Structure 1
Amino acid sequence: MADQNTVILSLLILLPFSLLFILYLIVRPRSLTIPIKNRHVFITGGSSGIGLSLAHRFASEGARVSILARDLRKLEEAKEAIRLSTGIDVSIFSADVRDFNAVKKAIEDAGPIDVLVCNQGVFTPQELELQSLDEIKFMIDVNVMGTFHLIKAALPLMKKDRKSRGPASIAIMSSQAGQVGIYGYTAYSASKFALRGMAEALQHEVIADDIHVSLIFPPDTDTPGLEEENKRRPELTTIIADSSGMMKADEVAKKSIDGIKKGSFIIPCNLEGVLLSIATAGLSPQRSYLMAFVEVLAAGPVRLIGLCFQWNWYGSIEKWHSKRKRT
């Protein structure tokens, strides 16, 4: 009996190490480091919010930074703010990401890109039944088609002489609403969920060119865009979204750049984001065998946590509708 217990104990000890070893062998793509200093970083939505914070941080790390947005006045203000804080001049480009030809010209004028950050995004929360098709189309055009336009325009120059220039990155700014849908986010979540499918397939297409795709999943972030969003948010959306924390734009920028440097496919920005990333890992690439180990072991418990969140959210929806019926 003692010998049997010893064997069982030995197996229990060996199993985690065996799993780690297997994951070390099979996890793909392999880990790498993407350098930032003296490299060209091109950021869309770079005149405010997360994009501006990214531009500040990339510039302070010695990158050559270009920022693109629609409003030339805001771009010039952003350029001056970055110059004052870092002593570095950034290049600015005014274009609407919905216009492929304008995007293509801006990228060609900027020159070959080493790190492309597709950070542009618009969000108008509302129930689908009440939201106009024009608003829905605008979100899809900016968030999804705008990202297609940027990547398609940038890829030829990104691929050129890549072996001599080192690894490149395409980072796509999604949202925690691109991992889980909630009330009032029907159109927005659709646009952000689409980015995941785009990114997973794109990574297959560009890995041989030493280009590495990252998806960033920030929570609500304290930006001018959030202020506008809150003016339109349905009450139920606020009730449910309040279960998630808010971050500062600079905090999201730091997490984003740290993940880009590691070539991480999924870049969560807070603890809730980590749990969502584990819960939705699916068939996504994973460079870290240690993180893959966590995903494998935590998948079941995190699913249970997710069901608890859903129980809470549906409870809130039921209470809200019951309250409305009584008034």
Structure 2
Amino acid sequence: MLFHRGKLVSETVEKFWFLFLPLFFIYTYGVYFLLDFFNLASSTSLSTTSASTIAIYVSLALLLSAISYPVLLYLFFGPRSRGFKHWGQKHVFITGGSEGTGFELAKLLVQKRQAKIVTLFSRSQTKLDAAKKQLEEIVEKQKKTTTRNTSLIQGSTSIRTIAGDTTSLDSLRKAVEEDSTTPAPDVLIAAAGMAIPKYFEDASPEDFERQMRVNYLGVVNSAKAFLEHMPGAVTEAGKGSDYADERHKNFVAVSSLAAAVPFIGYASYAPTKAAVRTFCDVLRNEFVDSKTTSIHICFPPDMDTPGFHEEQKTKPIECKKVFPECFNELFQPGDVAEMILAGIEHDRYHIFSPDLVGNFLASRGWGPHPRQFVFLEFVLSPLFVLIHEAIVFLMDRCVVKYDHHGAWGGGGAGGNRERSPEKKRA
């Protein structure tokens, strides 16, 4: 979170104080309660004022140590050596790059980072052509407004598009392989994904299979095609890769907050994103001995993208009502994309999103992985145990309220049930 800029900084500070103040009072009361309890059982007595003072100091010490931990790490060990600041010589390959988060990443790489090459990979050539046209307009606008900056003009981004399917390993291999005119990618961002939210009973086996192929196997294929060209990599045939070089490579997988907070309607979607999370845990551990490979994963919240609006067509009513409206914030994909790029630059394994609470929910509900703020999570953990319980209560209460199984007098299957359009037509 230390690398936020601009608007994200102010939003992060506001959300931090929103958590800090309640935690301060909770810890102060907890320490005071313990002091009071043990004071009654001991021969030494503390005055109420002394106990209150000690409780305040202990609470401040705990919280300030959590805040200062990342700062001390930076001061003693310096920045992580595998990060970078400049994209001018980078070739970035983005699956699902024709729209949504993938396209927002491409826009930032062209407009703010001036990457050398941006390759968009998607199934629809029509969408790719439209995306390329928009990106080229950005490049031309930059040239016109920066005529005095010749270095920027010479470094304008080259836009490439390749139509293909992430469920096909051969298609991805051909796309990422270096040819005589284009170097192999330095960064691959696996952003292709899809969601078909439905009740479990309404989801077909094809829905499960399709989402697993796109959301999980698409990431696996992307990693396979990209990482098998790493230095010292061995292909399936047992031969060293002809495309291996000494350039540093970054592989980024886009998971979802649903991997950490799954609920009704996402039986066919959430497991695919949870699989991505576990897959990246294995990759990170497997490549930890490589000095030229970095693995990253992010868990974006709901975003205002074409994919999100497409989900609304089949989404059960509980999906829309499970949390109070004040918590159903729809984030902008540009803000999420900015944080993904910043996370790559700082070599973060778990790349945070603008959703502060969502970041901790994803991290707290996760297994062993490198954590950015160990002491902060340690201090916050009691609060998030309660938050998890509150989430379970809200999810269960919502399902009982709409009673789509009819067990609570809702009229049986379909009593209060918003069925998918396919089922309605049937």
**Structure-1-length-normalised TM-score:** 0.87
Task: Tell me which residue corresponds to 1:157.
Answer: 229
Matched position secondary structure for 1:93: strand
Task: Tell me which residue corresponds to 1:179.
Answer: 260
What amino acid is the match of 1:310? V
Task: Tell me which residue corresponds to 2:118.
Answer: 65
Matched position secondary structure for 1:96: coil
Residues 288-303 of structure 1 correspond to what in structure 2 (within 5 A)?
A: 288=372, 291-303=373-385
Aligned length: 317
Is residue 107 from structure 1 mapped to residue 168 from structure 2 by the alignment?
no
Task: Tell me which residue corresponds to 1:132.
Answer: 204
Give per-residue Cα distances to partners, 1:163-201, cap 9 Å, x unaligned: xx3x43111111111111110101100100001110011
Give me the CA root mean square deviation: 3.0
**Structure-2-length-normalised TM-score:** 0.68
5+ long unaligned stretches in structure 1: none
Matched position secondary structure for 2:264: coil
- Report how far residue 24 of structure 1 moved: 4.9
Is residue 246 from structure 1 mapped to residue 330 from structure 2 by the alignment?
yes
Is residue 98 from structure 1 mapped to residue 167 from structure 2 by the alignment?
yes
Matched position secondary structure for 2:328: coil
Is residue 42 from structure 1 mapped to residue 111 from structure 2 by the alignment?
no
Is residue 201 from structure 1 mapped to residue 287 from structure 2 by the alignment?
no
Q: Do 1:40 and 1:115's aligned partners in 2 also have CA atoms closer than 8 Å?
A: yes
What amino acid is the match of 2:163? S
Q: Do 1:44 and 1:68's aligned partners in 2 also have CA atoms closer than 8 Å?
A: yes
* Structure 2 counterpart of 1:267, from 351, 354, 363: 351
Runs of 4+ displaced beyond 4 Å: 11-25
Is residue 31 from structure 1 mapped to residue 80 from structure 2 by the alignment?
yes
Once residues 61 and 377 of structure 2 are traced to their aligned partners in structure 1, the CA distance between those partners, rounded to angstroms, is 19
- Report how far residue 100 of structure 1 moved: 0.9
* Structure 1 counterpart of 2:318, from 236, 239, 242: 236
Once residues 329 and 230 of structure 2 are traced to their aligned partners in structure 1, the CA distance between those partners, rounded to angstroms, is 36
Once residues 240 and 250 of structure 1 are traced to their aligned partners in structure 2, the CA distance between those partners, rounded to angstroms, is 26
Percent identity for Structure 1 against Structure 2: 26
- Structure index of larger Rg: 2
5+ long unaligned stretches in structure 2: 1-43, 141-156, 232-243, 416-426
Once residues 390 and 158 of structure 2 are traced to their aligned partners in structure 1, the CA distance between those partners, rounded to angstroms, is 49
- Report how far residue 293 of structure 1 moved: 1.4
Of stretches 250-259 and 95-104 in structure 1, the one that deviates more from structure 2 is 250-259
* Structure 1 counterpart of 2:367, from 268, 282, 289: 282
Once residues 21 and 250 of structure 1 are traced to their aligned partners in structure 2, the CA distance between those partners, rounded to angstroms, is 30
Give per-residue Cα distances to partners, 1:201-254, cap 9 Å, x unaligned: 101122222311111111111111112110110111111265432111212111
